[in-house]
């Protein structure tokens, strides 16, 4: 189980310690535990998570392994996509890339919010690097940009367990609060290379 990059209460009041506790300690841990059971004694027992994901993506007979591996990876990435006192302006190098791809940081944030809010059911909104261009994509359930060959820079989890204790059915309020107050632009810049 990868450690949280901060204390459970570090994201409050945007995301409460109770939500982080359940999300990380129950949901994320559940995916880790399930994956460990599924790969025990198989070719994937000691494989890196990314290899498990790319090898099992799109294979019906490996769907359980893929779903759990992808959810472990997605959640670990999501926790790093957030930080206390985040949001605000991206670092200059990332801001230039955002402006080249979207015209402005505000347009980029609106597109992320739209992807997150419009994702039907459970899933994820992502800022990704596709070649030299930044894009916003959304994925359903456990799907991940790793399976499609794009490079993820940031993620917002829009499964209900990510926000329901704090926001009930107000996904848009959760998404906008994350964008404005928690998004870790420095992590995105590191991922952009």
- Domain spans, the chain: 17-80, 92-192
Mean pLDDT over each residue of the chain, to the nearest integer: 96
Average pLDDT over residues 152-169: 96
Contacts of 12 (CB under 8 A, 6+ apart): none
- CA atoms of 73 and 87, how far apart (whole Å): 22
Average pLDDT over residues 7-26: 97
H or E segment and range at residue 130: strand 123-130
Classify 81 as helix, strand or coil: coil
pLDDT at 149: 86
Q: Across the strands, what pairs with 135?
A: 128
pLDDT band at 170 (very low <50, low <70, confident <90, very high): very high
Largest Cα separation within the chain, whole Å, is 50
CATH topology of domain 17-80: Helix Hairpins (1.10.287)
What's phi and psi for 133, nearest 5 deg?
A: -110, 140
- CA atoms of 144 and 192, how far apart (whole Å): 17
CATH topology of domain 92-192: minor pseudopilin epsh fold (3.55.40)
Average pLDDT over residues 72-99: 96
Question: β-pairing, 151-157 with 133-140?
Answer: unpaired
pLDDT band at 88 (very low <50, low <70, confident <90, very high): very high
Residue whose C-alpha is closest to residue 70's, from 92, 91, 43, 51: 51
User: Do residues 104 and 90 touch, judged by C-beta distance below 8 A?
Assistant: no
User: Do residues 82 and 73 touch, judged by C-beta distance below 8 A?
Assistant: no
Give the pTM: 0.95
């Amino acid at each position: 189980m990868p450690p949280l990059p901060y204390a459970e209460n570090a994201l409050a009041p945007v995301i409460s310690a109770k939500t982080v506790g359940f999300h990380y300690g129950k949901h994320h841990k559940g995916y880790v535990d399930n994956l460990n059971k599924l790969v025990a004694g198989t070719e994937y027992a000691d494989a890196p998570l990314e290899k498990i994901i790319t090898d099992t993506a799109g294979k019906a007979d490996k769907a359980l392994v893929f779903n759990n591996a992808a959810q472990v990876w997605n959640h670990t990435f999501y926790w790093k996509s957030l930080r206390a006192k985040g949001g605000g302006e991206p670092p200059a190098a990332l801001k230039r890339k955002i402006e080249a791809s979207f015209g402005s940081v505000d347009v980029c944030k609106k597109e992320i919010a739209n992807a997150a809010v419009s994702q039907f059911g459970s899933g994820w909104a992502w800022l990704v690097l596709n070649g030299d261009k930044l894009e916003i994509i959304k994925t359903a359930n456990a799907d991940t940009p790793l399976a499609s060959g794009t490079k993820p820079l940031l993620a917002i989890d829009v499964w209900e367990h990510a926000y329901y204790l704090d926001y009930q059915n107000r996904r848009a309020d959760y998404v906008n609060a994350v964008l404005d107050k928690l998004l870790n632009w420095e992590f995105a810049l590191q991922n952009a290379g």
